[in-house]
């Protein structure tokens, strides 16, 4: 009996350790362009910074990213032009794209939601992970890149949201790059853990 209990406890601790490790494993941050891509169809605001976030419509981790974005915008009303781009791989239907994440994003005040067909815009901005957030100034210079959650699917105060809020309030930010926690945007270029995340 003692041996069985020890084996069971060992299994429980192993599973917990794996879950914690997965939760804290960031995706790829890519190498976003330092200057706004000239070919982009997303408008760069002339009077205020522009924020773009790339989202996989079936990434459960990204619910936390949308929640953090909503909090961020509530404290910075009118200070930023915000665009959410949902990846739509070739051959998928509108129903595949317009999940509850799309619906949640569509009702966040101040956000414009876009369908990114075949991930064209994500590739222009070199984004690879759902929840990847970029902030550009009115001259098209990159100010911030990274995620706005502390780990996969977890809401709460985090360096990414804090950095963007500081920048929008014209304050200095010590951190202009943070890890991105989410699923791979592109199925054929999946990062470790991406498929488990989307189950």
Residues 101-124 as b/e (b if ≥16 CB within 10 A, e otherwise) read bbebbeebebbebbebeebebbeb
Global confidence as pTM: 0.81
**What backbone phi and psi angles, to 5 degrees, belong to 62?**
-75, -10
Mean pLDDT of the chain: 84
Confidence of residue 30 (pLDDT cuts 50, 70, 90): confident
What per-residue confidence (pLDDT) applies to 23? 47
Q: What is the mean pLDDT of residues 135-161?
A: 89
What per-residue confidence (pLDDT) applies to 168? 95
Helices first, then strands: H and E counts in the chain: 7, 5
% of the chain residues with pLDDT over 70: 79
Taking alpha carbons only, the member of 153, 197, 158, 154 closest to residue 144 is 158
Q: Tokens 């879950």 — which residue?
A: 19
**What backbone phi and psi angles, to 5 degrees, belong to 154?**
-110, 125
What per-residue confidence (pLDDT) applies to 16? 46
Exposed / middle / buried, residue 159 (Cβ in 10 Å: 0-12, 13-18, 19+): middle
Which class does domain 2-197 fall in? alpha beta
What per-residue confidence (pLDDT) applies to 22? 43
**What backbone phi and psi angles, to 5 degrees, belong to 184?**
-65, 140
Task: Give CA–CA dist 187/56, Å, rounded.
Answer: 10
Task: Give CA–CA dist 39/37, Å, rounded.
Answer: 5
Confidence of residue 172 (pLDDT cuts 50, 70, 90): confident
Task: Give CA–CA dist 30/142, Å, rounded.
Answer: 14
Q: 2: Cβ–Cβ under 8 A, 6 or more apart, which residues?
A: none
Q: Where are the domains of the chain?
A: 2-197
Task: Give CA–CA dist 96/108, Å, rounded.
Answer: 21
Alpha helices in 118-181 (DSSP H): 120-124, 159-168
């Amino acid at each position: 009996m003692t041996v069985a209990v020890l084996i069971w406890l060992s299994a429980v601790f192993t599973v917990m350790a794996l879950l914690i490790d997965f939760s804290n494993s960031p995706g790829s941050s890519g190498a976003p362009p330092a200057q706004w891509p000239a070919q982009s169809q997303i408008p760069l605001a002339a009077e205020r910074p522009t924020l773009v976030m790339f989202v996989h419509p079936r990434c459960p981790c990204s619910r936390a990213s949308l929640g953090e974005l909503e909090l961020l915008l509530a404290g910075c009303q009118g200070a930023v032009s915000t665009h959410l781009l949902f990846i739509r791989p070739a051959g998928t239907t509108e129903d595949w794209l317009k999940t509850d994440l799309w619906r949640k994003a569509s009702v966040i005040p101040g956000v414009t939601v876009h369908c990114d067909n075949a991930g064209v815009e994500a590739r222009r901005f070199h984004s690879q992970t759902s929840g990847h957030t970029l902030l550009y100034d009115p001259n098209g210079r990159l100010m911030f890149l990274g995620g706005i959650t502390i780990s996969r699917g977890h809401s709460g105060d985090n360096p990414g949201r804090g950095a963007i809020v500081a920048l929008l309030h014209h304050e200095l930010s010590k951190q202009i790059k943070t890890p991105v926690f989410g699923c791979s945007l592109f199925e054929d270029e999946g990062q470790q853990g991406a498929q488990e995340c989307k189950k």
